[in-house]
């Protein structure tokens, strides 16, 4: 098993001494004590072109995970022959032992899936793994915030059986009948490293942002080719929509000064949100003036933070 | 013969009028119906109705009951009686044939054909069934209609309906003398057999009409015979429609429904014609009346649905730039503008590009054809191809991508087909050329010349450079399938082989090129003038170009030889090399691809149609690491009119990376004519325009980018802000920065620009 296989891709892990990090754009901070664990599995391609595609997607997702976590200690990448049924079961069992309820879990399944009318299977080197087994393994993981992304064909088959309280479940297809190889995985991988996916430009891509980006791109890709879409991505469970899945830049160390500035920024951001919500009926010029006042202040605080962090 | 009785599903859900029932000319029509028929044909409606009702209650014959029920408008009962008739008399071809006619009248052609064929299985020589099949084929403009009619006349030259069908088809092809001969035969038979002459009169009036005799004696004869016979106007109107004289057709159809208000087919045709001249509300009124009377017509239902869908369209009125005072007097300075009907989802993206191309085409054609438009051009772009198809249903030889009804042009929008599947800019250019040829001749231009000018203008002045002839047309050219100029219209209206319509388009375009090369642009203008004055093609060629049609055809043949002889000689070799290049590409043998594709390009360098030989050649260069050569290949492809959007994006990117941003912009700008709904196109083009300090065009592109509802809306607003800043519009800059930051408060670049402008 290649639990931390990413080391071989990206060299030595980043320094382990960092205790607390701040995102590249201040204002979005995860629970200081929670840890985000990633499990990324590239299944069997069947053909070389698919194998290469799936592995490239998995590695791209792993890069995004590393960028976000700062080190690879909580990143599991199962790829190639290592992505066997046995290894996958073992890794999910291991995660269930090390992860705590306050931690967060992100699982990405990449590859082909099948559905024979009764049972969903995720295609792996050697024996496949069925949907029920995976559901059971995932259920044993105590993290109360989970994101499970199944990018395989026929993945819509698990929409009900894998749904769980606290879990946001994303599938590439809306039903088991959508059996063609999917495009969703490629766009999901892209979303985790895309400025375009980061709608609010805070430097982090949330679950919702990544899903919206990938689903939009899938639809556009079929439309632009004049094809009927053979996949319709689905998302259920709102609990983890706001979870930051990936940072777009490396983490930096948090300081006391930064913490104060970030609080200010948070407050201003809340004010902007409040103003937006109260906009109804407000004269547009008045609204824009009020918005400008808040955004200017916010920009100045942001600049101060960047100065402290030494960002140009 | 053991034929099964088929129980057709016949969905008559209400009582219907049957006054549009065609006349039954068959010799074996039951004599019991004769008295009622005489009342009916002479317009004594009440008497006819009473008579048929009496038969309906007194007759025990299912066929007589069916015919009577049909005539009093109870189609459901007629259907049931026909079914009973078949059950009682399964060996009778007569019953099945008449039943088939009922289906035909209610637009269920496939069921009708099945019954006609069953009748012929019972009696292979049963002429009314053959005529039924001929009527279906003629209605679909199928060439086999002629053979069917000919077969009937060989068996019995006194079949009146066969002569009528012959006349109809001759008229549709513009063969007026032949039509008149057929009608004289028909008239004589009607007199001999005591059959009602009304349809003969109507077709006679049509001949007069096409000979520019508007006040026809046949109309008076018909109205004397039956003052409520609306088809005396509606049938001639059909020939106006197929010769694209929609305004005149509309006038006749108004007369038809005024003397016969329950002539539903005329209401339908009137509604469709009114729509062709953008009279939407009146169109809806007459189509609704038609639907109430004839709910079986898919054309009526689809057109009404199309009108309903107009609520999803934006109607945008645009002015044309005024002509400079020194080239026109003040009255002419202000020209009619344009009206665009665009789907509301696409209008914000497409409006500028469509309006700009329409304006440019009007300028170009006004000068080239010395004709000023008198009304605004109406351009409709349909995202749903089926909506566009509704516009063209029932018309022969109409293009698959666009149609012009005079000042109104309808076509697929770029999203009506897969991205890159068609060059909408060329289609629009082609259709606007039709506006000029139709309107400058008062719609008297023959189809071949109108199409020819449009194709010729695509090649000469359109947004896609070059003369583009599909491979199958070159094959047809090689097989000597081009038609003499006097027969060319039949290649559009009644094609005799697969692909002939396209062959006819190309031949017409080449004929116009030939005219221009020998007689200059003045030759084309002169032909338009002669057509406007009522000349037919033979006269126009002789008077306008000074040669007779035979000499013209010989000259054209020589022109084709000089232009294509060398290409046709190597066509087979070219195909072989091209095929070889594709096989090598599939094997990943790029050296071999390079050799074979180079050979193909050397043989026929102008060809950028199907086969993608330039693209393959460039791909081979790329695979072999020869990017400069790949760029050069694709530049040649693009300059020759190649327009595959993915390829042009790649070329533009390479040019941009090679510090040739001006060329990159030029290439990418051409993608607008193929795939304008792609957000990345507008984003990239806007960025490049902005970099080159062209704020106006950057703004245009960024507005289109925002209109595509991009996933990253904040960046669209930020880009707009930058464009406005370049244009020194402080207020708009601020506004769009605030919109960007409203969505993305942490958007650093937007923050910095906001601080900068408010400093």
CA of A64 to nearest chain B CA: how many angstroms apart? 20
What are the CB-based long-range contacts (under 8 Å, 24+) for B209-218? B209/B236, B209/B239, B209/B240, B210/B171, B210/B174, B210/B176, B210/B239, B210/B243, B211/B176, B212/B534
Residue B5 has pLDDT above 70, yes or no: no
- Domain presence at residue A69: yes
Write out the two tokens for B5.
Answer: 């009785």
Residue B387 has pLDDT above 90, yes or no: no
- Domain presence at residue A73: yes
Whether the Cβ atoms of residue B346 and residue B387 lie closer than 8 Å to each other: no
Please write the tens of the pLDDT for every residue from B477-490: 999 999 999 999 98
Q: Which residue has the tokens 């049609």?
A: B549
Q: Which residues of A touch B746 (CB under 8 A)?
A: 25, 27, 200-203, 302
User: What mean pLDDT value characterizes chain A?
Assistant: 86
Residue B4 touches partner A, C-beta closer than 8 Å: no
Domains of chain B (ranges; CATH) run: 307-518+558-566 (1.10.390), 671-759 (1.25.40.10)
pLDDT recorded at residue B20: 57
- DSSP-assigned beta bridge partners for residue A39: A76, A107
Q: Taking the CB of residue B60, how many other CB atoms lie within 10 A of it?
A: 6
A292 shares a domain with A167: no
Among the partner-chain residues A200, A223, A227, the one whose CB lies closest to the CB of B746 is: A200
Average pLDDT rounded to a whole number, residues B217-237:
95
| Local confidence band at B395 (pLDDT 50, 70, 90 cut-offs) | low
A16 shares a domain with A115: yes
- Domain presence at residue A52: yes
pLDDT recorded at residue A310: 75
A269 shares a domain with A134: no
Angle, CA A7 vertex, CA A62 and CA A104 arms, to 5°: 45
Which sign does the torsion angle of CA A134, A136, A141, A142 carry? Answer: positive
Residues of B528-547 as b/e, b for ≥16 C-beta within 10 angstroms?
Answer: bbbbbeebebeebbbebbee
What are the CB-based long-range contacts (under 8 Å, 24+) for B494-501? B494/B141, B494/B142, B494/B143, B494/B169, B494/B172, B494/B173, B494/B396, B495/B143, B495/B397, B496/B143, B499/B472, B499/B473, B500/B476, B501/B397
A242 shares a domain with A157: yes
pLDDT recorded at residue B12: 36
Domain extent for A285:
259-309
| Local confidence band at B506 (pLDDT 50, 70, 90 cut-offs) | very high
- Domain presence at residue A76: yes
Residue A166 has pLDDT above 70, yes or no: yes
Residue A302 touches partner B, C-beta closer than 8 Å: yes
Q: Taking the CB of residue B610, how many other CB atoms lie within 10 A of it?
A: 10
Which position has the higher pLDDT, A242 or B52?
B52
CB contact under 8 A, B751 and A212: no
CB contact under 8 A, B745 and A200: yes
A152 shares a domain with A124: yes
Which position has the higher pLDDT, A34 or B432?
B432
Residue B329 has pLDDT above 80, yes or no: no
Closest CA to A8 of A68, A82, A111, A103: A82
Write out the two tokens for B749.
Answer: 């670049």
A274 shares a domain with A186: no
Residue B129 has pLDDT above 90, yes or no: yes
Please write the tens of the pLDDT for every residue from B524-536: 999 999 999 989 8
CB contact under 8 A, B745 and A199: no
Q: Which residue has the tokens 């960028």?
A: A67
| Residue B480, helix vs strand vs coil | coil
CB contact under 8 A, A299 and B752: yes
Q: Which residue has the tokens 């939407």?
A: B280
pLDDT recorded at residue B508: 98
| Residue B30, helix vs strand vs coil | coil
Whether the Cβ atoms of residue A295 and residue A272 lie closer than 8 Å to each other: yes
Length of chain B: 759
| Local confidence band at B571 (pLDDT 50, 70, 90 cut-offs) | very high
Residue A33 has pLDDT above 80, yes or no: no
Residue of B nearest to A200 (CA): B744
Average pLDDT rounded to a whole number, residues A244-258:
82
Q: Characterise B602 by phi-psi region: left (phi > 0), alpha (psi -120 to 50), beta (else).
A: alpha
- Domain presence at residue A252: no
Q: How many domains does chain A have?
A: 2
Among the partner-chain residues A199, A291, A303, the one whose CB lies closest to the CB of B744 is: A199
CB contact under 8 A, B418 and A224: yes
Which position has the higher pLDDT, B611 or B89?
B89
Average pLDDT rounded to a whole number, residues B174-192:
93
Residue A26 belongs to domain with CATH number: 3.40.50.1460
Residue B13 has pLDDT above 50, yes or no: no
Can you give the three-state secondary structure of chain A, one letter per residue?
Answer: CCCCCHHHHHCCCCCCCCCCEECCCCCCCCCCCCCEEEEEEECCCCCHHHHHHHHHHHHHHHHHHHHHHCCCCCEEEECHHHCCHHHHHHHHHHHHHHCCCCCEEEEEEECCEEECCCCEEECCCCCCEEHHHHHHHHHCCCCCEEEEEECCCCHHHHCCCCCCCCEEEEECCCCCCCCCCCCHHHHHHHHCCCCCCCCCCCCEEEHHHHHHHHHHHHHHHHHHCCCCCCCCCEEECCCCCCCEEEECCCCEECCHHHHHHHHHHHHHHHHHHHHHHCCCCCCHHHHHHHHHHHHHHHHHHHHHHHHHHCCC
Closest CA to A220 of B5, B81, B708, B576: B708
| Local confidence band at A139 (pLDDT 50, 70, 90 cut-offs) | very high
Q: How far apart are CA B432 and CA A117, in angstroms?
A: 55
| Residue B164, helix vs strand vs coil | helix
| Local confidence band at B8 (pLDDT 50, 70, 90 cut-offs) | very low
Which position has the higher pLDDT, A17 or A289?
A289
Q: How far apart are CA B435 and CA B373, in angstroms?
A: 9
Picking from A285, A295, A300, A302 by the largest number of B CB atoms within 10 A of its own CB, the best residue to mutate is: A295
Please write the tens of the pLDDT for every residue from B611-646: 689 999 999 999 999 999 999 999 999 999 999 999
Q: Which residue has the tokens 């559905």?
A: A115
Q: How far apart are CA B515 and CA B509, in angstroms?
A: 10
A212 shares a domain with A172: yes
Residue of A nearest to B753 (CA): A299
Write out the two tokens for B126.
Answer: 């049963």
Q: How far apart are CA B79 and CA B296, in angstroms?
A: 14
Which position has the higher pLDDT, B319 or A191?
A191
Picking from A198, A201, A208, A226 by the largest number of B CB atoms within 10 A of its own CB, the best residue to mutate is: A201
- Domain presence at residue A10: yes
Whether the Cβ atoms of residue B656 and residue B688 lie closer than 8 Å to each other: yes
- Domain presence at residue A1: no
Q: Which residues of B touch A227 (CB under 8 A)?
A: 418
Q: Which residues of B touch A272 (CB under 8 A)?
A: 742, 745
CB contact under 8 A, B738 and A225: no
pLDDT recorded at residue B243: 84
CA of B633 to nearest chain A CA: how many angstroms apart? 25
Of A202, A222, A247, which marks where a domain is finished? A247
Average pLDDT rounded to a whole number, residues A253-260:
84
Average pLDDT rounded to a whole number, residues B356-383:
95
Residue A35 touches partner B, C-beta closer than 8 Å: no
Q: Which residue has the tokens 């609990």?
A: A239
A265 shares a domain with A236: no
pLDDT recorded at residue B28: 77
Write out the two tokens for A140.
Answer: 């044993």
A301 shares a domain with A197: no
Q: How far apart are CA B393 and CA B395, in angstroms?
A: 6
Residue B17 has pLDDT above 70, yes or no: no
Whether the Cβ atoms of residue B649 and residue B671 lie closer than 8 Å to each other: yes
Contacts of B572 (CB under 8 A, 6+ apart): none
Whether the Cβ atoms of residue B18 and residue B72 lie closer than 8 Å to each other: yes
- Domain presence at residue A226: yes
For strands B338-343 and B313-318, give the pairing. antiparallel
| Local confidence band at B422 (pLDDT 50, 70, 90 cut-offs) | confident
CB contact under 8 A, B675 and A27: no
Of A247, A273, A301, which marks where a domain is finished? A247
Q: How far apart are CA B67 and CA B33, in angstroms?
A: 8
pLDDT recorded at residue B6: 38
What share of chain B in percent tops pLDDT 90?
79
pLDDT recorded at residue A225: 75
Q: How far apart are CA A288 and CA B648, in angstroms?
A: 41
A267 shares a domain with A155: no
Output Rg (C-alpha) for chain B, integer angstroms. Answer: 31
Average pLDDT rounded to a whole number, residues B717-738:
97
Whether the Cβ atoms of residue B115 and residue B96 lie closer than 8 Å to each other: yes
Which sign does the torsion angle of CA B387, B264, B408, B462 carry? Answer: positive
pLDDT recorded at residue A312: 63
A114 shares a domain with A53: yes
Picking from A224, A225, A304 by the largest number of B CB atoms within 10 A of its own CB, the best residue to mutate is: A224
| Local confidence band at A262 (pLDDT 50, 70, 90 cut-offs) | confident
Residue B581 has pLDDT above 70, yes or no: yes
| Residue B27, helix vs strand vs coil | coil
Whether the Cβ atoms of residue A149 and residue A167 lie closer than 8 Å to each other: no
Q: Which residue has the tokens 């399964």?
A: B90
Residue B2 has pLDDT above 50, yes or no: no
For strands A120-122 and A129-130, give the pairing. antiparallel
Average pLDDT rounded to a whole number, residues B588-592:
95
A304 shares a domain with A239: no
Residue B743 touches partner A, C-beta closer than 8 Å: yes
Q: Which residues of B touch A226 (CB under 8 A)?
A: 417-419, 421
Residues of B279-292 as b/e, b for ≥16 C-beta within 10 angstroms?
Answer: eeebbbebbebbbe
pLDDT recorded at residue B224: 95
Measured distance between the N- and C-terminal CA atoms of chain B, rounded to whole angstroms = 97
């Amino acid at each position: 098993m290649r639990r931390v296989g990413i080391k071989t891709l990206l060299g030595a892990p980043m320094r382990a001494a960092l205790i607390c990090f701040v995102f590249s754009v201040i204002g979005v901070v995860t629970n200081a004590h929670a840890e985000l664990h990633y499990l990324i599995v590239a299944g069997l391609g069947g053909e070389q072109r698919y194998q290469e595609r799936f592995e490239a997607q998995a590695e791209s997702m792993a890069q995004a995970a590393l960028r976000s976590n700062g080190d690879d200690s909580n990143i599991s990448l199962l790829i190639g022959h290592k992505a066997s049924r046995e290894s996958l079961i073992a890794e999910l069992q291991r995660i269930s032992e090390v992860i705590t309820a306050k931690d967060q879990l992100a699982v990405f399944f990449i590859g082909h899936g099948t559905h024979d009318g009764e049972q969903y299977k995720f295609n792996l080197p050697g024996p496949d793994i069925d949907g029920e087994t995976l559901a059971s393994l995932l259920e044993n993981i105590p993290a109360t915030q989970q994101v499970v992304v199944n990018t395989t064909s026929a993945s819509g088959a698990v929409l009900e059986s894998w749904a769980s309280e606290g879990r946001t479940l994303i599938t590439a297809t809306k039903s088991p009948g959508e059996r063609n190889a999917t495009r969703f995985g490629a766009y999901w991988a892209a979303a985790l490293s895309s400025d375009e996916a980061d709608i609010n430009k805070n430097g982090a891509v949330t679950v919702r942002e990544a899903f919206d980006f990938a689903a939009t791109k899938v639809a556009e890709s079929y439309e632009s080719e004049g094809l009927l879409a053979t996949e319709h991505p689905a998302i259920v469970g709102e609990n983890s929509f706001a979870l930051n899945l990936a940072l777009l830049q490396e983490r930096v160390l948090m300081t006391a000064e930064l913490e104060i500035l970030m609080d200010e920024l948070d407050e201003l951001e809340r004010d902007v949100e409040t103003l937006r919500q109260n906009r109804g009926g407000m004269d547009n010029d008045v609204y824009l003036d009020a918005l400008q006042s808040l955004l200017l202040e916010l920009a100045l605080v942001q600049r101060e933070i960047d100065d402290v962090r030494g960002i140009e | 013969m053991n034929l099964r009785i088929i129980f057709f599903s016949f969905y008559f859900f209400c009582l219907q009028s049957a006054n549009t029932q065609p006349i039954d000319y068959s010799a074996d029509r039951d004599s019991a119906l004769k008295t009622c028929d005489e009342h009916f044909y002479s317009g004594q409606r009440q008497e006819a109705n009473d008579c048929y009702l009496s038969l309906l209650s007194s007759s025990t014959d299912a066929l007589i009951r069916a015919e009577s029920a049909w005539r009093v408008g109870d189609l459901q009962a007629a259907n049931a009686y026909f079914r009973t008739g078949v059950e009682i008399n399964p060996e009778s071809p007569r019953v099945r044939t008449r039943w088939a006619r009922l289906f035909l009248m209610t637009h269920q052609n496939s069921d009708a054909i099945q019954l006609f064929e069953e009748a012929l299985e019972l009696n292979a020589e049963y002429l009314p069934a053959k005529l039924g099949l001929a009527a279906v084929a003629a209605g679909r403009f199928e060439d086999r209609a002629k053979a069917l009619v000919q077969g009937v006349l060989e068996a019995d030259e006194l079949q009146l309906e066969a002569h009528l069908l012959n006349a109809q088809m001759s008229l549709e092809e513009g063969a007026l003398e032949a039509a008149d001969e057929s009608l004289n035969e028909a008239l004589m038979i009607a007199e001999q057999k005591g059959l009602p002459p009304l349809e003969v009169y109507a077709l006679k009036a049509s001949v007069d009409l096409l000979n520019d005799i508007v006040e026809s004696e046949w109309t008076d004869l018909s109205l004397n015979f039956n003052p409520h016979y609306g088809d005396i106007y509606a049938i001639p109107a059909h020939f106006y429609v197929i010769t694209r004289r929609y305004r005149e057709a509309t006038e006749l159809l108004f007369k038809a429904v005024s003397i016969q208000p329950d002539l539903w087919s005329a209401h339908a045709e009137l509604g469709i014609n009114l729509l062709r001249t953008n009279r939407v509300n009146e169109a809806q009124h007459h189509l609704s009346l038609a639907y109430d009377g004839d709910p079986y017509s898919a054309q009526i239902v689809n057109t009404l649905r199309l009108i309903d869908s107009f609520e999803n369209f934006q109607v945008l009125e645009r002015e044309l730039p005024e002509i400079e005072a020194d080239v026109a007097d003040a009255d002419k300075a202000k020209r009619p503008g344009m009206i665009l009907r665009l789907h509301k989802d696409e209008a914000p993206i497409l409006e500028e590009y469509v309006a700009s191309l329409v304006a440019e085409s009007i300028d170009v054609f006004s000068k080239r054809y010395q004709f000023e438009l008198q009304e605004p051009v109406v351009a409709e772009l349909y995202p749903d191809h089926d909506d566009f198809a509704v516009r063209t249903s029932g018309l022969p030889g109409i293009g698959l991508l666009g149609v012009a009804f005079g000042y109104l042009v309808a076509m697929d929008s770029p999203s009506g087909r897969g991205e890159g599947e068609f060059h909408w800019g060329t289609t629009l250019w082609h259709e606007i050329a039709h506006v000029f040829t139709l309107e400058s001749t008062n719609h008297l231009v023959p189809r071949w010349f109108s199409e020819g000018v449009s194709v010729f203008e695509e090649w000469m002045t359109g947004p896609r450079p070059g003369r583009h002839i599909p491979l199958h047309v070159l094959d047809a050219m090689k097989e000597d399938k081009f038609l003499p100029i006097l027969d060319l219209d039949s290649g559009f209206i009644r094609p005799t082989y697969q692909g002939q319509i396209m062959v006819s388009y190309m031949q017409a375009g080449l004929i116009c090129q030939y005219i221009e090369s020998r007689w200059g642009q003045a030759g084309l203008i002169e032909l338009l003038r002669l057509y406007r004055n009522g000349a037919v093609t033979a006269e126009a060629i002789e008077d306008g170009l000074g040669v007779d049609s035979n000499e013209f055809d010989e000259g054209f043949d020589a022109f084709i030889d000089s232009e294509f002889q060398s290409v046709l000689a190597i066509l087979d070799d070219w195909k072989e090399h091209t095929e070889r290049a594709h096989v090598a590409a599939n094997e990943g043998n790029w050296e071999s691809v390079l050799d074979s594709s180079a050979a193909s390009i050397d043989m026929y360098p102008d060809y950028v149609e199907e086969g993608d030989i330039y693209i393959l050649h460039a791909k081979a260069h790329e695979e072999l690491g020869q990017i400069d050569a790949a760029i050069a290949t694709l530049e040649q492809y693009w300059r020759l009119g190649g327009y595959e959007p993915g390829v042009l994006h790649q070329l533009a990117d390479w040019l941009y990376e090679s510090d040739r941003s001006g060329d990159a912009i030029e290439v990418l700008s051409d993608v607008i004519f193929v795939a304008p709904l792609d957000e990345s196109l507008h984003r990239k083009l806007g960025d490049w325009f902005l970099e080159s300090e062209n704020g106006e065009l950057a703004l245009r592109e960024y507005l289109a980018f925002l209109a595509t509802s991009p996933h990253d809306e904040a960046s669209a607003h930020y880009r707009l802000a930058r464009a406005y800043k370049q244009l020194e519009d402080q207020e708009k800059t601020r506004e769009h920065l605030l919109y960007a930051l409203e969505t993305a408060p942490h958007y650093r670049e937007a923050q910095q620009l906001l601080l900068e402008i408010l400093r």
